[in-house]
Structure 1
Amino acid sequence: RGEVAFGTIDTFMVWRLSGGKAHVTDVSNASRTLMMNLETLDWDKELLDHLDVPAEILPDIRPSSEVYAETAGLDFLPDGIPIAGMAGDQQAALFGQACFDSGEGKCTYGTGAFLLVNTGTAPVPSRNGLLTTVAWQLGEQTHYALEGSAFIAGAAVQWLRDGLGIIKSSSEIEQLAASVPDSGGVVFVPALTGLGAPHWNAEARGVIAGLTRGTTAAHLARATLEGIALQIHDLVAAMNEDRGAALHTFKVDGGAAANNLLMQMQSDLRTVPVVRPRSVETTALGAAMLAGLAVGFWKGLEEIREAWSMDRRFTPQLDERRKQEMLRKWRDVINKT
């Protein structure tokens, strides 16, 4: 009867803020429904028919930066404020990191870890279990990305705190892990809820290998940070293979990006510089930038790129022999999960 409208959370927010005048989503959010055609940037009729979803209930798909509507009928905001800028959380973080060119990528370290790499203006299908997605659309130009996620990153540190009582707060892990030169042969695969990309094994379980009577809490702490970094190493390797080229920019954000030891490990394992911005809340920053472009606060991408500011750059320091030994042990253990 025309009484039902469907959308993602961004659709709902714009609908409510506009007083029901705009039923829209953007290309990055629409791509996550698995019902949008990545090339036409419209709802895919074959998929809709297969899923028995009527096109009439779906929102209009729009670019990621434009004025969609204005506020209306709200008791906490005046009418007439532009509602502008829309993107999925990881795409917004990629934009907030000013990763505007192909080969530029970012990793967000939170409870899990999420790696996105800009692949340019054409979608790149993955042969390694990664997600091909729209990054954003500005005007008529669309950028795409490859995404991979590790289910457990910061959550492994939380487990050391809450499950084992090795640390009292998450911030303590860096100092504890840095108190030993290596993990003492301990390898921790933090598959506490299965393994995400590129392994995709929901039945996998966490493994701690290499324990001896000499193993200390510090060794476990260091192995935990190494386990996080090694998961991201595997994601980057998969992305490089899919793209046929190495990632040349690796920016980081999220709460765990403040851990200097973890960031150094990440640089050592990938043999590329890891760059941390002054503001690690890049998801919110990216959303604000998309909105600002739409209303003319920023004039273009170069102005945004110039506004991006670096806090610290981590360069590789681990010798190749030790790196390869770490990777060999990691592969041996991960095959047993």
Structure 2
Amino acid sequence: MKYVIAIDQSTQGTKAVLFDQTGRLCKRADRKHRQIVNEKGWVSHDLKEIYENMILAVREVLDRSDIGRENVEAAGISNQRESTAVWNRSGDPLAPSVVWQCSRAARISDRFKDFSPVIYEKTGLPLSPYFPAAKMAWLLENVSLKEPYCLGTMDSYLVYRLTKGSSFLTDYSNASRTQLFNLHTLEWDEELCRMFGVPIESLPKVCDSNACFGYTDFEGYFDLPIPVYGVMGDSHAALFGQGCHLPGQAKATYGTGSSIMMNAGDTFIKSSAGLATSLAWGMNGRVEYVLEGNINYAGAVISWLKNEMGLISSDEEVQELVHKANQKDTAVFIPAFTGLSAPYWRENARAMILGMSRTTGRAELVKAAVESIAFQVSDVLTAMEKDSKKVLKELCADGGPAKNRYLMQFQSDISDIRMRVSRQEELSAIGAAYMAGIASGIYDRDKIFTNIDYDIYDSHMDRESRNERKNRWREGIDLVCKNAGGFETS
């Protein structure tokens, strides 16, 4: 039996997941890392801690299995996107990473507002501190760098460390999210790099997602190094793992935030509705595009309810409370803790609860918070239909919050769409593993994706109720956005 190991390096932690040659998930090991948030709300991660956790997770998952290490043929990596790292040529971090959620680079983005049409035309991304270009500029302006350094997203940092500095690479999916990569020339854009003050020589080489990214023994754990074949941003890996390989197929990954992504084939679609255009992946010299909308707070809303508000003691308690809540309660929660991303792009927006009545209580607030996830996803789907000129009838879903039955049914109801919710939670890991397994010849691409099982949710909400709920949500969004700068959704 041959095996593939996938590393899913996410916002909250790092998973090592072992798959056999049939594509079946055998074992997984998880290691959480610290969320470093200062008094200004800046969000950072310790890069050394993440790398060490990755090595420990790989060792743990194999030590707990009954296979020989020599049977592991390849490794794949999916990573939290937009989080930005700087390190020296020895692989040592020169600063904590700037996490994708963090808006500390907002003032840097503001400098380039006059150039936002050019930036969007070249990169497919709305100008925002969400993306690494501004984060890299912030690091260069605020960290003392006295030696040759490397700038990149988490995938390039991990590959660099795993290969002991012999591979300084990233794939098309991750490069396309930096706001420095030209989607038309498929190269780092010299004009944009100069604008943000990022030396091109400090950036990794861009290659196909199924390329060989080098060899690693995971710090001496393997007797012989194994190849790293599949590297993608986590949302792209989930799209690949869901089997959304045809134009018009879409998925939503519910994690700390949420990525809603639609395969656009080999055509660049310019969004007029606040979405981003990125590259899905590159395979065998051919790239595919996606339309995408990202929201900052999905699973993070549940964490806020538990850790900051103390309204729940566990994630499992959410299901019970939302069913106890008064379903006619009109409370609306807008989770703009660090601004609003797609399709609004208001980094100065802040969270708000509105529409409460005297009978609004703990259960109703939890319900409003859970529903806020679905409302945000629904707004992205509406923008996606406008840009693609296609009516979406089905949405594949994955990620931890997708296990919440109330959330998935409400998502189907409020979006009037069929939800295909994967029973396999680890779609990002599955995508990375399948990409690596296909590239190394272990998996047959035409057969391997039949392993995914789904639960189906169909909409049962009538149109009048749906419109009433949506109108209350939009009133809340308008109010939050007006406070952040006079924007209205209409």
Alignment partner of 1:321 is 2:464:
yes
Show the counterpart of 2:397.
252
Residue 52 to residue 173, structure 1, CA distance change in 2 (3 Å): closer
How many residues were matched structurally? 335
Alignment partner of 1:33 is 2:175:
no
Q: Cα offset for 1:128?
A: 2.0
Where in structure 2 are the equivalents of 1:1-337 lying within 5 Å? 4-71=149-216, 74-180=219-325, 182-300=327-445, 302-310=446-454, 312-337=455-480
Residue 79 to residue 268, structure 1, CA distance change in 2 (3 Å): same
Residue 213 to residue 276, structure 1, CA distance change in 2 (3 Å): same
Superposed CA deviations along residues 31-56 of structure 1, whole A, max 9, x for unmatched, are 12222221222222333344454444
Question: Structure 1: how far apart are the matches of 2:473 and 2:363?
Answer: 19
Specify the SS of the correspondent of 2:184: coil
Contact 1:103/1:248 (8 A) holds in 2: no
Question: Structure 2: how far apart are the matches of 1:155 and 1:4?
Answer: 32
Question: Structure 2: how far apart are the matches of 1:164 and 1:55?
Answer: 44
Residue 17 to residue 182, structure 1, CA distance change in 2 (3 Å): same
User: Which moved further from structure 2: 49-58 or 107-116?
Assistant: 49-58
Contact 1:177/1:218 (8 A) holds in 2: yes
Residue 234 to residue 79, structure 1, CA distance change in 2 (3 Å): same
Q: Cα offset for 1:84?
A: 0.8
Superposed CA deviations along residues 312-331 of structure 1, whole A, max 9, x for unmatched, are 10000111110010011111
| Root-mean-square deviation over aligned CA pairs | 2.2
Superposed CA deviations along residues 83-105 of structure 1, whole A, max 9, x for unmatched, are 21111121111111111111112
Question: Structure 2: how far apart are the matches of 1:166 and 1:72?
Answer: 45
Question: Structure 1: how far apart are the matches of 2:181 and 2:338?
Answer: 29
- 1:169 maps to amino acid: S
Specify the SS of the correspondent of 2:359: coil
Question: Structure 2: how far apart are the matches of 1:102 and 1:112?
Answer: 24
Residue 8 to residue 226, structure 1, CA distance change in 2 (3 Å): closer
Question: Structure 2: how far apart are the matches of 1:12 and 1:123?
Answer: 28
Contact 2:252/2:259 (8 A) holds in 1: yes
Contact 2:241/2:449 (8 A) holds in 1: no
Q: Cα offset for 1:267?
A: 0.3
Superposed CA deviations along residues 130-160 of structure 1, whole A, max 9, x for unmatched, are 2211110111221111221222222222333
Contact 1:71/1:78 (8 A) holds in 2: no
Q: Cα offset for 1:3?
A: 5.3
Q: Cα offset for 1:175?
A: 1.3
Residue 74 to residue 180, structure 1, CA distance change in 2 (3 Å): closer
Contact 2:246/2:263 (8 A) holds in 1: yes
Q: Cα offset for 1:335?
A: 1.2
Question: Structure 1: how far apart are the matches of 2:328 and 2:301?
Answer: 16
Contact 1:264/1:315 (8 A) holds in 2: yes
Specify the SS of the correspondent of 2:308: helix
Superposed CA deviations along residues 204-224 of structure 1, whole A, max 9, x for unmatched, are 222222222222322222222
Superposed CA deviations along residues 185-226 of structure 1, whole A, max 9, x for unmatched, are 222222232222111222222222222222232222222222
Superposed CA deviations along residues 237-284 of structure 1, whole A, max 9, x for unmatched, are 111111111224311111111100000000011111111112111111
Question: Structure 2: how far apart are the matches of 1:211 and 1:48?
Answer: 47
Specify the SS of the correspondent of 1:133: strand
- 1:328 maps to amino acid: N
- 1:255 maps to amino acid: G
Contact 1:70/1:79 (8 A) holds in 2: no
User: Which moved further from structure 2: 316-325 or 179-188?
Assistant: 179-188
Residue 322 to residue 62, structure 1, CA distance change in 2 (3 Å): same
